[in-house]
């Protein structure tokens, strides 16, 4: 696998079209999933997805296998491109105050009996998180990335990512209690 990756990088440095296509096949779905979690509109996510690979093709010479795997390096580019896009678009984010008057709390017994309802609340609560918070949760829980990999992607350190995940989980719990 390492020789295959080295060959792929070598061919990318030579700007071989077949290598570019191979990179898309190998990592395209992963990159699109990461981008789509941050950029909610499909058309916008597709635009960012293309920008990620253009940037990757142009900057492949900066890739250092000692710092991260090729997938993690691409994830870092995707993460930053998606966040930059969201910042440029200046989306309207909805935040819940500590004591919302218009949201009803659900009966805890009903939550235990209705797992489907709890899942729906979780999905609703996730929408109330900032894109950065959503992406940290999904990288950790859905993509199963380590704190070290997430830290590399987000230009952070593993202990900070761990602290952020802890705060985000607490915030998510508070939001779910209010929904």
Per-position pLDDT tens, the chain of length 179: 678 888 999 999 999 999 999 999 999 999 999 999 888 899 999 999 999 999 999 999 999 999 999 999 999 999 999 999 988 875 444 444 444 444 344 444 444 444 677 777 777 888 888 888 988 988 888 888 999 999 999 999 999 999 999 999 999 888 888 87
Residue ranges of the chain assigned to CATH 1.10.10.10: 108-178
The CATH T-level fold of domain 108-178 is: Arc Repressor Mutant, subunit A (1.10.10)
Residue ranges of the chain assigned to CATH 1.10.1740.10: 2-89
pLDDT digits (tens, 9 = 90+) for 98-150: 444 443 444 444 444 446 777 777 778 888 888 889 889 888 888 889 999 99
Listing DSSP states for 26-92 in one string gives HHHHHHHHHHHHH--SHHHHHHHHHHHHHHHHHHGGG--TTT--HHHHHHHHHHHHHHHHHHHH-PP
The CATH T-level fold of domain 2-89 is: Rna Polymerase Sigma Factor; Chain: A (1.10.1740)
What's the token pair of residue 147?
A: 């704190």
Rounded to a whole number, what is the distance in angstroms from the first to the last CA of the chain? Answer: 47
Its pTM stands at 0.69
CA angle 24, 25, 28 (to 5 degrees): 55
């Amino acid at each position: 696998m390492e020789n295959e990756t080295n060959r792929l990088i070598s061919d990318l440095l030579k700007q071989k079209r077949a290598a570019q296509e191979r990179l898309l096949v190998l990592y395209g779905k992963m990159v699109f999933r990461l981008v789509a979690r941050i950029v909610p509109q499909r058309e916008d996510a597709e635009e960012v997805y293309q920008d990620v690979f253009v940037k990757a093709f142009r900057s492949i010479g900066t890739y250092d296998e000692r710092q991260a795997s090729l997938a993690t390096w691409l994830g870092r580019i995707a993460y930053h491109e998606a966040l930059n896009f969201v910042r440029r678009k200046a989306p309207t984010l909805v935040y819940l105050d500590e004591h919302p008057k218009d949201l009803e709390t659900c009966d805890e017994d009903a939550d235990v009996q209705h797992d489907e309802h709890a899942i729906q609340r979780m999905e609703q609560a996730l929408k109330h998180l900032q894109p950065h918070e959503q992406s940290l949760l999904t990288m950790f829980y859905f993509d199963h990335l380590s704190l070290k990999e997430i830290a590399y992607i987000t230009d952070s350190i593993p202990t900070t990512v761990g602290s952020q995940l802890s705060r985000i989980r607490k915030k998510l719990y508070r939001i779910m209690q209010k929904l």
